[in-house]
Amino acid sequence: MIDEALVKHIAHLARLDLSSSEQAKIQKDLSSILDYIAKLNEIDVKETKPFRSAALLHNIMRADEAVSESPQTNQKIKDQFPHQEESFLKVKTIL
């Protein structure tokens, strides 16, 4: 069921450049993994609610206050920008 077109579609959704040999390998791997996962069809979950971790605990609230990091930390984060102009993050044109 995982054909070449589906692999291409998923790679596009995931924003992944894949070579044709990578595509072929992933098509094969995903097929065998999904064959294994088909095991889940043996169980009836019609009456089962999906897991939600929030349902197990209680809400943890805090005041909705802005917390600013130190200028040093801000600078260290900016130092990681691949492209920068003045203190701005530089990206390609979006539209």
Q: Residue 88 gets which letter from DSSP?
A: E
Which DSSP state fits 63?
-
Does position 88 bind another protein by CB under 8 A?
A: no
* Of 5, 20, 57, 66, the one binding another protein by CB under 8 A: 57
Rounded Cα distance, 78 and 88, in Å = 8
Q: Report which residue type is found at 69.
A: E
- CB hemisphere CA count around 20 (13 angstroms): 0
Q: Is 85 among the residues that bind another protein (CB under 8 A)?
A: no
Q: Does 71 bind another protein (CB under 8 A)?
A: no
SS3 label, residue 12: helix
Q: Is 3 an interacting residue with respect to another protein (CB under 8 A)?
A: no
Binding footprint of another protein on the chain (CB under 8 A): 2, 6-7, 10-11, 13-18, 22, 25-26, 29-30, 32-33, 36-37, 39-40, 42-43, 45, 48-53, 56-57, 60, 62, 69, 73, 76-77, 79-83, 89, 91-94
